[in-house]
Amino acid sequence: MDTHELENHPDVRDGLTRKERIVLHCLHQLQKERDGSNAPTAMLYGRVLEYVNISEKELQLILQRLSAYDQRPEN
């Protein structure tokens, strides 16, 4: 497996990719710095770029996917 495949392969623990996990980490850090308020997408994108090289479109797709992510266990 090359690096590209590893970055886009979901983790067995929760199904998140490395990029999704980075986006969540950066979002969490920004919200803490902003006393819980929402973080602008442009600011989030800048933070994410410090960790991984992704396009704006890819960030948007990840945010859309994560906003639909349901952590509740299936009954």
Is pTM beyond 0.85? Reply is no
Q: Percent of the chain at pLDDT above 70?
A: 75
List, in order, residues 6 or more apart from 7 with CB less than 8 Å away.
17, 18, 19, 52
* Residue 24 belongs to a domain: yes
* Residue 4 belongs to a domain: no
Question: In terms of DSSP H, where are the helices of the chain?
Answer: 3-7, 18-33, 41-49, 56-67
* Residue 31 belongs to a domain: yes
* Residue 75 belongs to a domain: no
For the chain, the average pLDDT equals 85
* Residue 60 belongs to a domain: yes
* Residue 35 belongs to a domain: yes
Q: What's the structural domain count of the chain?
A: 1
List, in order, residues 6 or more apart from 69 with CB less than 8 Å away.
none
How much is the average pLDDT of 21-33?
Answer: 95
Local confidence band at 14 (pLDDT 50, 70, 90 cut-offs): confident
Q: State the residue range of the domain holding 42.
A: 17-67
